[in-house]
Amino acid sequence: MSHAANAPAVVLITGSSRGIGRALAERLHAEGAHVILHGRDAATLRQVAEGLADPERVTQLVADLADSAQIERLFAEVEARFGRLDLLVNNAGATLTGPFAGQPSAALRQLIDVNLRAPLLCTRAAFRLMKPRGQGTVINISSNVAAMPLPLLTAYSSTKAALEALTHALREELMDAGIRMFLVAPGAVDTDIVKSYTRDFVERYDGAIRRLDPATVADAVMGCWRLAGEAHWKQIVLEHFPEPRPAASTTPQTPAREVAD
Ligand SMILES: NC(=O)c1ccc[n+]([C@@H]2O[C@H](COP(=O)([O-])OP(=O)(O)OC[C@H]3O[C@@H](n4cnc5c(N)ncnc54)[C@H](OP(=O)(O)O)[C@@H]3O)[C@@H](O)[C@H]2O)c1
């Protein structure tokens, strides 16, 4: 399939039905990209699409990334419609909090499939689309718990640490084909993911955590995407400022008295 030289960049953001992915989709669309929205629910994607200015530059694709056959279909659809992919953001993810010993195997399997196996399979599929053109960008959304694993977040921390390992291991192979690979690792972000936190996790951490705005994470990803040419960052770790210090006293100083001659 041939494309005009000035055709908009084709970008796929997994998990763009809400949260960080949605904020990023809105940003990329505002900057002129053709955005492929992805999630598991067509009605939710339709709502997101309705909020974007140019319907000609929006495509909605549904796939459960825990299912490898659906991942294959997703990328076959991208290839059939566009014949190319300029940017893949492996953003879709889930979490699992609470004591490890009580977590069912099915929940662990689901978490590993979505947070680790899916980015691996999506990156492989994207690589096949990007390689013939000798260009493309893959951005993986990790978490700062990859480097600082937390109790009550064992499996999630492990999937993100593995995602980071896969990113660093793969980067050179992709670069040889002209494809850049970035890793963005935010701290806590204010999204729906927090609704799945168990009570013990909330009691232990939540009051102490300051959350980033999803738009701030989108800023970091946009920075990677805009970074010119062959340059890349190995990793961006995004953290919230700590609690602000109490403001310095604003009591007005006693004015200096005029000194008579
Ligand atoms: N929020 C945080 O504190 C935080 C911190 C660091 C890193 N992160 C990472 O940031 C990324 C985005 O998270 P978020 O906070 O924006 O979460 P979110 O608001 O819960 O959004 C998660 C997205 O992933 C999609 N998704 C989940 N499971 C899926 C599956 N099986 N198949 C396809 N799509 C699936 C969801 O789509 P559906 O509409 O189909 O559910 C949704 O679009 C994740 O990788 C997360 O680990 C988040």
Domains of the chain from N-terminus onward: 10-238 (3.40.50.720)
Residue 124's H or E segment, with its range, is helix 118-130
Portion of the chain with pLDDT greater than 90, in percent: 79
If DSSP codes are grouped into helix, strand and coil, which group holds residue 168? helix
| Residues noted as catalytic | 156
Portion of the chain with pLDDT greater than 70, in percent: 91
Mean of pLDDT over the chain: 91
Complete DSSP assignment for 163-185: HHHHHHHHHHHHHHTTEEEEEEE
Residues enclosing ligand 1, CB less than 6 A? 15, 17-21, 39-41, 44, 64-66, 91-94, 114, 141, 143, 186, 188-189, 191-193
Residues 219-236 have a mean pLDDT of 88
**Residue 160 near residue 143 (C-beta atoms within 8 A):** yes
pLDDT tens for 52-70 read: 999 999 999 999 999 999 9
**Residue 19 near residue 44 (C-beta atoms within 8 A):** no
CA distances from 184 to 77, 140, 243 (A): 27, 6, 23
> Does the pLDDT of residue 120 top 50, yes or no?
yes
Round to whole Å and give the CA distance between 57 and 197: 35
Q: How confident is the model at residue 4 (pLDDT cuts 50, 70, 90)?
A: low
Residues 37-60 have a mean pLDDT of 98
Predicted model pTM: 0.93
What pLDDT was estimated at residue 93? 98
Give the nearest ligand 1 atom to 45 CA.
39
Residue with CA closest to ligand 1 atom 46: 93
